Every structure is written in structure tokens, then in C-alpha cells.
A = this chain, B = another copy of it.
């Protein structure tokens, strides 16, 4: 069984968990608190970031986008025309563009701020920067998420899914990042009805179930989080 070093509220880990579930692969989940900078984890991945996949053959694949490419190359064809990284050059560029949008822009402006302030800082010692969340940062993340929701709404109003006619890595990446903000009660769902409908469709997939069951000590998600008909 492959192992996935992850954190339940790390959006990049969630993206890979969704992808693995779409491929029908169930990994052993190993929770990693990256801020502890555990020596054995740093030996596995010098970058010290989740997620890291270790395959059945003890092959280490670090980082969400590297894992996504690896899974496409090893398992992509098994999904036939539902391949998560589609075949044509144009479609591949659009999927990768949007995966990067969420892995970098959304992460840098919204989800990393929310998780660091509201989750990681709770478990970090004070001398490592732990403590109460900086509400200025949280407010900035809440302001930034609005334009990302409108962008999702804009794209999905023209397309069946985020990057085109079919579900792709773009949907899984976007939904993974949104889901973390949703767990923390920070998604203004009134902002964009089209984005909300898209998210309801991704959230209803079987691959999403394990994420909706995630719990973190001391943090309760709002009822809307696991509600498929929110």
C-alpha cells in the first residue's frame, strides 16, 4: 500500500488525496506536522513540505504537482477518456495553468494564510511562531477569496468543468483549496452562485467523502462543510 505523508487541512495534500481516490488508490495516510521539521521527514524530502507519496516500491515522490504528473504518467490511461490530465496539448496547458493557479496564487493569497493562522499556529510552540491567529491576515485571506470564487464562477459558466468539458486535475486542485477554507468557515458562498454549484458537484463525488469526514482536534467545521446540499 502506498503511503501519503499529509496534513488533513493542507490543501496540497487534499488535492493528492482526491487524485488518488479518483484513480482508485487508497494510501496509508501518515499525518505530518511540517513545522516540526522532523529529521526522518526531511531525509525523505529535503523541502520538508507535504504531501509526499512513497510508492509500494519505496519510491519517493514529493510535492503535489510532481505527484500529479507521476500519477498521470503511471495511471492516467486507466481512466480512458476521463483522464485527469487530458490528451490534447491545449487541454493539458489549461489544466496545468489552473492547477498552478490554485497551488500558487490561491495558496499564497488564501489557503496557506488561513491554515497557518488558524490551524498550524495552534499546534506550534510560541518560540516557533505559534499562538493566536493574526486576524489581519485572516481578513486579507477572506477578502482575497472573493475574486477567486468569481473567477471559478466565470470559468464554469462557460464550461462544464473548470478547465473544459470533463473533470480534471484543475477541479480537484481548486476544490481541495476551497475545501480547507470551507472547513474553517471562510467561504462566502453567497458571493457566486455558479461557483457554488460547481463546488457542490465536485463535493458530491465519491472521491471527496474521506475529506468531508476529516476532523482536527479542537477545530469543528461549520455544518455546511459536510453538507452536500449546502
> Residues of A with Cβ closer than 8 Å to B?
46-47, 59-63, 65-66, 69-70, 73-74, 89-90, 92-93, 96-97, 100-101, 104-105, 151
8 Å CB contact of A70 from B70, B74, B93: B93
Whether A89 contacts B63 by the Cβ 8 Å rule is no
- Which B residues lie within 8 Å of A93 (CB)? 59-62, 66, 70
How many Å lie between the Cα of A105 and that of B49 in the bound state?
A: 11
Can you name 6 A-B residue pairings with CB atoms under 8 Å?
A47-B100, A59-B89, A61-B93, A66-B100, A69-B96, A104-B104
8 Å CB contact of A89 from B74, B90, B92: B74
A153 → chain B, closest Cβ, in Å? 14
- Which B residues lie within 8 Å of A69 (CB)? 69, 92, 96
Whether B105 contacts A65 by the Cβ 8 Å rule is no
A66-B96 CB under 8 A given contacts A89-B73, A90-B59, A151-B46? yes
A120 → chain B, closest Cβ, in Å? 17
A156 → chain B, closest Cβ, in Å? 15
Chain B residue with the shortest CB-CB distance to A155: B46
Chain B residue with the shortest CB-CB distance to A45: B97
Whether B92 contacts A62 by the Cβ 8 Å rule is no
Whether A97 contacts B59 by the Cβ 8 Å rule is no
Chain B residue with the shortest CB-CB distance to A70: B93
Chain B residue with the shortest CB-CB distance to A103: B104
Whether A63 contacts B151 by the Cβ 8 Å rule is no
- Which B residues lie within 8 Å of A89 (CB)? 59, 70, 73-74
8 Å CB contact of A66 from B46, B60, B97: B97
Chain B residue with the shortest CB-CB distance to A60: B93
- A-B contacts besides A47-B105, A66-B96, A73-B92, 16 pairs, CB < 8 Å: A46-B151, A47-B97, A47-B100, A59-B89, A60-B93, A62-B93, A63-B96, A63-B97, A65-B96, A65-B100, A69-B69, A69-B92, A70-B93, A73-B89, A74-B89, A104-B104
